[in-house]
Each structure stands twice: as structure tokens, then as C-alpha cells.
């Protein structure tokens, strides 16, 4: 216990140490976090009237980001599968970065739900009426919190074993890894069922919603990991195997293709049948009775995704710079398509035929930026702690040296210095 407490103290100290770039990045995130807290306090005092949501459109920017982030968290499994099922040794340590992002993404998702509650201090009413197992919202609470605990255990245990320079015991984490694989799929499936199970919103009443959620998640999540690993390789000297980028590139390309196919299938069903229930789809893609606020956004998202997909299938995307551009494009495209392009149109028109368009307010945007900044702040700290441990520069038998504490790769490139055979190096046998 004493060694573990010392480990936590050293990690806490390390999170405050870095070079100028690290301090600049953390300062900028902190500023946005404080702006977000101020905006949320204003919303807490004045109510949801500070947002653009109305009686007609009761879910907006917050739930859109929640939906997107649940998928990003679930996508961590796309690194776990090739490592633990196909025994890809070269990607062992990289799994930790994916699971660390899952932790940050789940925290952000829960914060967005909290922000969407008009009276968050009355959350206990939900617990008193925990309608399990009939309520899909109850299932969502269970799977999100369970997935958070699973990833915290897996990451914490592997990093601590690397810190102690000892191989991890398979019995303490391998069963949790396979449970996490199933759990990752379940968190996004249950979230999809939240929408498709609402009979009064025909735009969501489709069996394709859950598969489309998973496909978009398995495209955007690994794309974000590619960007993360690129930053680590450039600014910390952490040696990322080229095979990792190529494996993730293949995953992203296939998942994005499936997502675009499912989107096309839904569009065909809505427009070819031309039923009365297609009004929301008409509003989203073509506009409805002169209202077309989301039309430029959804077509921009489709264009970004198509260009990104074309780049991923071309050999030129083997170049890291091109791959990064494609990843940024598809992340933005999927955020629009799966966020505002999925949530808002279901409320327009209302069951009474009213058309009330939704535009997020400045206060909503500030709260959203604050939550994203907090999530990135948490993820940055987790990665800042993990890299020196995996590299063997921070272990229980070493002093807290300047080389260990240096940020931005000042300690030189990290090549093959995987403590204890890597955080997960001993489990492949």
C-alpha cells in the first residue's frame, strides 16, 4: 500500500512538470475549463432558458456531444481486439492509450448529461425511481459507469505493474479485458436503443441505428488515436510502430465505409418510400417548408466523410501527414452527422406538426468547450504520466530525476524501453 501511495504521489507531481509547450497547452485548456464552469453556473442559476432548447426541441448540443463521445469511448476496443485476440505484440502498450481515452470520453459524456439536466441537484430522484430492467436510461447508466470502472482498473493495473517492473498477473486483468470488449459494444448499442425505442420520433425508429452507431464509432475513435499517437511520437519521442498506424488506418477505412453504406441505406428508405414519417429526413437533407438550418451542415459532413474515405483507400494515406488530414476530416464529419445531424432532426417537425428550429446559444457553446477542455486535460495528464512509466524512466526503484520529469521529449526518443517487458508484454505467451 505504501508503494502504491508513493506511485500516486509521484504521478501527481509528474503531471505538473513539462516543457513550455506542455504548460501552454495545459494553460489554454484550463482557461476554457474555467469559462465552461462560469457558463454552467449561469445556466444553473437561470435554468435551461440560457440554452437554445425549447419545449419542441428538448435535446440539443449537449446530447449530441454525449452521443458522439459514447462512441469514441467504445472505439477503444478496436485496439484491444487485435492485441488480445490476435496477439499482436507490437501494439500491446498502445492499448493503454486507447483505454485512457475511453476513461476521459466517458467522463465527458457523463458531464454532458449532467449539463443537460435542468436541475442536476435532483439527480437522486432518478435513483429513487431506478426502473430496472424496463428503462433503457437505467441500462445506459449501468453500462457507462461499468465501462468507466473497467477501463480504470485495466489501465491502472498495467501502468502500476510497469512502474513496479514486474509482469502483470493474467488473472487480474485478462478476464476484465474480454468483458470490456463486450461492454464497449454494449454501451453504444444501449445508447442507440435509447433513441430507436422512442416510438414518437419516427426519425430514430430504425433497426440500422445501432449498427450505424457502432460503425461511426469504430471510425472516429481509432482516427482520434492516430492523431494522439502522432502527437506522442512527435513531441515526446515515444516510438510508435508504423504497423500501429497501418492497422488503425485499415480499421478506420473499413468502419467509415460501412458507416457511409448504412447512411445511404437510411436515406434510400426515407426518400424512396416518401412516407409521412420522412419529414425529419427531408428537413435534414433538403429543408422543410423554408426551414433549412441543418442542410449545409449535413452535406458538409457527407462531403468530409467521402473525401476522407477516398484518401484512406489511396496509397498516399500511408504518409502520416495525409493520414492525419483524413482523420481530422472524418472526425469532424462524423461529429456533425452523428451529433446535430442525428439528434435535432428527430424533433422537427413535432408530433403536432410544428417546425421550431434549434440553434445553440453562446452559453451552451461555452459549457461544451469547457467539458471538452476538461476531458482533454484529464487525457493529457493520464498520457503524461503513462509515457515515462512505459518507457522505463519512472519506476519504483528510480529517483524522480530531471530526465524523468522532462516534458516534450527532452529525454530523447523512446525505443524498446518497455518496463517489465512493456505494460502488457508478458501476457502474449
Residue 325 has pLDDT above 90, yes or no: yes
| Structure confidence at residue 19 (pLDDT) | 84
Name every residue whose Cβ is closer than 8 Å to that of residue 357 and which is 6 or more positions away in sequence: 57, 291, 293, 348
Report the sign of the C-alpha dihedral through residues 159, 160, 161, 163, in that order: positive
Q: In this prediction, what percent of the chain has a pLDDT beyond 90?
A: 28
How does pLDDT run across 129-151, given as a tens digit for each residue? 666 667 777 788 888 888 889 88
Selected residue with higher pLDDT from 92 and 169? 169
* Inter-residue contact 77 to 126 (CB < 8 Å): no
* Inter-residue contact 21 to 408 (CB < 8 Å): yes
Name the band, by pLDDT with cuts 50, 70 and 90, for residue 417.
very low
CA 271, CA 163: separation in Å to the nearest integer?
Answer: 57
Backbone angles phi, psi at 52, to 5 degrees: -90, 5
Stretch 348-355: mean pLDDT, rounded? 84
Residue 283 has pLDDT above 70, yes or no: yes
Q: Which residues pair with 288 in a beta bridge?
A: 291
| Structure confidence at residue 127 (pLDDT) | 65
| Structure confidence at residue 305 (pLDDT) | 95
Q: Which domains does the chain have, with CATH numbers?
A: 2-427 (1.20.1630.10)
Name the band, by pLDDT with cuts 50, 70 and 90, for residue 180.
confident
Amino acid at each position: 500500500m505504501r508503494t502504491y501511495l508513493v506511485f500516486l504521489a509521484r504521478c501527481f507531481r509528474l503531471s505538473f512538470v513539462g516543457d513550455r509547450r506542455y504548460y501552454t497547452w495545459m494553460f489554454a485548456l484550463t482557461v476554457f475549463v474555467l469559462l465552461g464552469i462560469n457558463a454552467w453556473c449561469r445556466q444553473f442559476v437561470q435554468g435551461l432558458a440560457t440554452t437554445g432548447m425549447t419545449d419542441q426541441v428538448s435535446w440539443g448540443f449537449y446530447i449530441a456531444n454525449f452521443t458522439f463521445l459514447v462512441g469514441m469511448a467504445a472505439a477503444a476496443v478496436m485496439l484491444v481486439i487485435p492485441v488480445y485476440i490476435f496477439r499482436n505484440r507490437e501494439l500491446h502498450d498502445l492499448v493503454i492509450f486507447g483505454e485512457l481515452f475511453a476513461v476521459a470520453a466517458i467522463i465527458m459524456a457523463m458531464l454532458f448529461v449532467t449539463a443537460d439536466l435542468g436541475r442536476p441537484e435532483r439527480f437522486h430522484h432518478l435513483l429513487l425511481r431506478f426502473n430496472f430492467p424496463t428503462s433503457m436510461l437505467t441500462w445506459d447508466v449501468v453500462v457507462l459507469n461499468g465501462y468507466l470502472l473497467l477501463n480504470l482498473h485495466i489501465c491502472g493495473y498495467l501502468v502500476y505493474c510497469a512502474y513496479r517492473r514486474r509482469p502483470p498477473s493474467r488473472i487480474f486483468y485478462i478476464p476484465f479485458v474480454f468483458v470490456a470488449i463486450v461492454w464497449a459494444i454494449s454501451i453504444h448499442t444501449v445508447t442507440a436503443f435509447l433513441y430507436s425505442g422512442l416510438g414518437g420520433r419516427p426519425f430514430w425508429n430504425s433497426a440500422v441505428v445501432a449498427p450505424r452507431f457502432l460503425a461511426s464509432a469504430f471510425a472516429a475513435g481509432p482516427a482520434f488515436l492516430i492523431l494522439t499517437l502522432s502527437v506522442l511520437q512527435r513531441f515526446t519521442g515515444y516510438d510508435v510502430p508504423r504497423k500501429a498506424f497501418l492497422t488503425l488506418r485499415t480499421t478506420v477505412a473499413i468502419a467509415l465505409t460501412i458507416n457511409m453504406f448504412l447512411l445511404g441505406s437510411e436515406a434510400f428508405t426515407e426518400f424512396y418510400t416518401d412516407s409521412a414519417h420522412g419529414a425529419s429526413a427531408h428537413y435534414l437533407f433538403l429543408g422543410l417548408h423554408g426551414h433549412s438550418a441543418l442542410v449545409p451542415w449535413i452535406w458538409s459532413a457527407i462531403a468530409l466523410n467521402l473525401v476522407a474515405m477516398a484518401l484512406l483507400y489511396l496509397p498516399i494515406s500511408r504518409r502520416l501527414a495525409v493520414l492525419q488530414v483524413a482523420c481530422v476530416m472524418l472526425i469532424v464529419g462524423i461529429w456533425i452527422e452523428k451529433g446535430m445531424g442525428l439528434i435535432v432532426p428527430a424533433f422537427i417537425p413535432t408530433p403536432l406538426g410544428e417546425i421550431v428550429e434549434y440553434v445553440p446559444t453562446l452559453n451552451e457553446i461555452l459549457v461544451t468547450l469547457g467539458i471538452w477542455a476538461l476531458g482533454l486535460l484529464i487525457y493529457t495528464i493520464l498520457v503524461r504520466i503513462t509515457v515515462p512509466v512505459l518507457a522505463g524512466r519512472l519506476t519504483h526503484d528510480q529517483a524522480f530525476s530531471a530526465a524523468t520529469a522532462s516534458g516534450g521529449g527532452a529525454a530523447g526518443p523512446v525505443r524498446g524501453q518497455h518496463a517489465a517487458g512493456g505494460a502488457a508484454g508478458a501476457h502474449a505467451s
